[in-house]
Amino acid sequence: MYYIGIDLGTSAVKLLLMNQNGAIQKIVSKEYPVEYPKPGWSQQNPEEWYEKTVDGLNELLADYCKEEVAGISFGGQMHGLVILDKKDQVIRPAILWNDGRTTEETEYLNYKIGKEKLASHTGNIAFAGFTAPKLLWIRKHEPENFSRIDKIMLPKDYLSYRLTGIHSTDYSDASGTLLLDVKNKKWSNEMMEICGIRKEWMPVLYESHQVVGTLLPEVCQLLSLPSRCKVAAGAGDNAAAAIGTATVGEGQCNISLGTSGTIFISARQFVKDSNNALHAFAHADGNYHLLGCMLSAASCNKWWMEEILKTRDFVKEQQDIFELGKNQIFFLPYLMGERSPYNNPNARAVFFGMSMDTSREDMTQAVLEGVGFALRDSLEIAKRNGISIKCARICGGGAKSLLWRIIIANILNIKVESIRVEEGPAFGSAILAAVACKEYASVEEAANKLVMVTETLEPDAELSARYEEKYRKFKEIYPACKPVFEILKQ
3-state percent breakdown (helix, strand, coil) of the chain, nearest 5: 40, 25, 35
Q: Is 79 annotated as a binding residue?
A: yes
Cα–Cα dist 194/315, whole Å: 49
The residues that are catalytic are: 237
Give the distance, in angstroms, between the CA of residue 353 and the centroid of all CA atoms in the same chain: 31
Q: In 342-440, which ranges are continuous DSSP H helix?
A: 360-384, 402-412, 424-436
Q: In 224-324, which ranges are continuous DSSP H helix?
A: 237-244, 298-302, 314-318
Q: Domain 2-239 belongs to what topology?
A: Nucleotidyltransferase; domain 5 (3.30.420)
Q: Are 83 and 153 in contact (CB under 8 A)?
A: yes
Residues of the chain with CATH 3.30.420.40: 2-239, 245-488
Residue 490's pLDDT is what? 61
Per-residue pLDDT of the chain in tens (490 residues, 90 and over written 9): 999 999 999 999 999 999 999 999 999 999 999 999 998 899 999 999 999 999 999 999 999 999 999 999 999 999 999 999 999 999 999 999 989 899 999 999 999 999 999 999 999 999 988 999 999 999 999 999 999 999 999 999 999 999 999 999 999 999 999 999 999 999 999 999 999 999 999 999 999 999 999 999 999 999 999 999 999 999 999 999 999 999 999 989 999 998 889 999 999 999 888 788 899 999 999 999 999 999 999 999 999 999 999 999 999 999 999 999 999 999 999 998 998 999 898 899 999 999 999 999 999 999 999 999 999 999 999 998 888 899 999 988 899 999 999 999 999 999 999 998 878 899 999 999 999 999 999 999 999 999 999 999 999 999 999 999 999 999 999 999 999 998 987 6
Measured N-to-C along each axis, helices 443-450 and 424-436 cross at an angle, to the nearest 10 degrees, of 130
pTM for the model: 0.90
Q: Domain 245-488 belongs to what topology?
A: Nucleotidyltransferase; domain 5 (3.30.420)
Q: Is 354 annotated as a binding residue?
A: no
Of 270, 359, 376, whose CA–CA distance to 317 is shortest? Answer: 359
Long-range CB pairs of 210-217 (<8 Å, 24+ gap) are: 210/170, 210/436, 211/436, 212/160, 212/164, 212/166, 212/168, 213/164, 213/165, 213/166, 213/168, 214/164, 215/163, 215/164, 216/163, 216/164, 216/165
User: Which residues have C-beta within 8 Å of that of residue 227, sequence separation ≥ 6?
Assistant: 214, 215, 217, 220
